[in-house]
Chains A and B, each alone.
Chain A
Amino acid sequence: MQTNEFHGNAVFSGGGFMPSQATQTVPDRPSSSYKSDARCSMPLTVKQLKDLSRVGESGISIDGVDVNNIVLVGMVSKIDNAVSDCTFRVDIYMFFGVAFRPVTDFNEIAKHFIEGIYVHLYNTNLRGGMTTQPEVANSNFGNPTKSYGYQTNLTNQFSGQYNTVEEQIRGVSSKVLQYLRRLACLYVFNASETGVPSDVVVRELNKSLQFLVSEGLVYTTIDDHYKFTDA
């Protein structure tokens, strides 16, 4: 854990890291890893830290993702104040000179672990193939009473022309809305107020397209025109 890169505001604006932050544009095979964005943080359990078996270029790699910042939740059991350093022993782990924020809403504890589960599932399913999305119960962080079901094989959902606004809302636009909801989940940790930037939406779509190309489900024709192979 690189404490000199810990920025309290970034870490505790939500806490979550998704491969969408990666600088790579083409999802590679499991042996490669994404590079993390310093703005993002990955929610982890101590067990995940304990199981680290590979050190990537930037220090640690979890589920194939290089990680710079992490978020842990624990209970402060002892505080020692030195002249220039503060050492905290949190539950069963020891921090040194990192940012702390007290938990005020105890629902955050369950939220942290559920976020960690979501990030883990996303990262590991990404390696398994973009067209199969993880289905996680109660994964709507904005509204716990709703649940997400991620659709597979979005390419066969389009049905051509829509005659009414209602049909359009139910058709393509609903898929776009679903996609935006998913992106919003990924970005809720960093931009819960402002939403997902349009350049990120475009970048994510391009990454998905490039992955589909690498999997042979889509191919390019001329000038970045895409055609799906199972038409």
Chain B
Amino acid sequence: MDTSSPAAFVNGGLLRMHVGRKVRTVIQVTRSDAGSVMGKSTDGCQLVVRGSPPAPLTSYVEVIGVAENENSIRAELWTNFGDSFDASNYDQLCQLANGELKHLFL
């Protein structure tokens, strides 16, 4: 079992804690260009995700990749999460997974 590179659940505010490391997050797509997607994180921050997004993109997409800086991710994996998603629920998970329950995830 290879557990060498787990992706941390992050929202916009938590991204800065994992710069240079593997992260996963869900964004609501606001703009999509060739090579990058801009979106709103579950806590309302604007994030840029670089890479090759799937086509077509749904409103919500999960990205797994490496955090480049506090508002940018280099995505390795994209997954369409549909047009209806509970961002608040996911955001709570991110906070829990980075708080005192971090030991369950990383």
Residues of chain A having any CB pair with chain B under 8 Å: 45-51, 75, 92-94, 105-107, 110-111, 113-114, 116-117, 120-121, 137-138, 144
Contact B85 A106 (CB under 8 A): yes
Q: How far is the CA of A196 from the CA of B23 in the complex (A)?
A: 39
* Chain B positions within 8 Å of A138 at CB level: 88-89, 92
* Chain B positions within 8 Å of A93 at CB level: 1
Known contacts A47-B105, A116-B104: A106-B89 contact under CB 8 Å: no
* Chain B positions within 8 Å of A106 at CB level: 60, 62, 79, 81-82, 85
Contact B97 A113 (CB under 8 A): yes
Contact B89 A144 (CB under 8 A): yes
* Chain B positions within 8 Å of A117 at CB level: 93, 96, 101, 104
Return the 9 tightest CB-CB contacts between A and B, nearest first: A106-B81, A110-B90, A110-B93, A138-B92, A107-B86, A50-B3, A144-B89, A110-B89, A92-B2
Q: How far is the CA of A209 from the CA of B105 in the complex (A)?
A: 35
Contact B104 A48 (CB under 8 A): yes
Contact A94 B101 (CB under 8 A): no
Contact A46 B3 (CB under 8 A): yes
The distance from the CB of B42 to the nearest CB of chain A, in whole angstroms, is: 10
Contact B60 A113 (CB under 8 A): no
B45 contacts the other chain (CB 8 A):
no
Taking CB atoms and an 8 Å cut-off, the chain B residues in 15-45 that contact chain A are none
The distance from the CB of A75 to the nearest CB of chain B, in whole angstroms, is: 7
Q: How far is the CA of A49 from the CA of B104 in the complex (A)?
A: 9
- Closest residue of chain A to B104 (Cβ to Cβ) is A45
The distance from the CB of A121 to the nearest CB of chain B, in whole angstroms, is: 8
- Closest residue of chain A to B9 (Cβ to Cβ) is A113
The 8 Å CB contact of A114, one of B81, B82, B85, B89, is B89
* Chain A positions within 8 Å of B60 at CB level: 106
Q: How far is the CA of A45 from the CA of B106 in the complex (A)?
A: 10
Contact A47 B1 (CB under 8 A): no
21 contacts between A and B (CB under 8 A): A45-B105, A46-B1, A48-B104, A49-B1, A51-B103, A92-B3, A92-B6, A106-B60, A106-B79, A107-B86, A107-B89, A110-B90, A113-B9, A114-B89, A116-B104, A117-B93, A117-B96, A117-B101, A117-B104, A121-B101, A137-B96
Contact B62 A114 (CB under 8 A): no
The distance from the CB of A195 to the nearest CB of chain B, in whole angstroms, is: 24
Contact A120 B62 (CB under 8 A): no
Q: How far is the CA of A107 from the CA of B104 in the complex (A)?
A: 19
The 8 Å CB contact of B104, one of A47, A92, A110, A111, is A47
Q: How far is the CA of A68 from the CA of B47 in the complex (A)?
A: 41
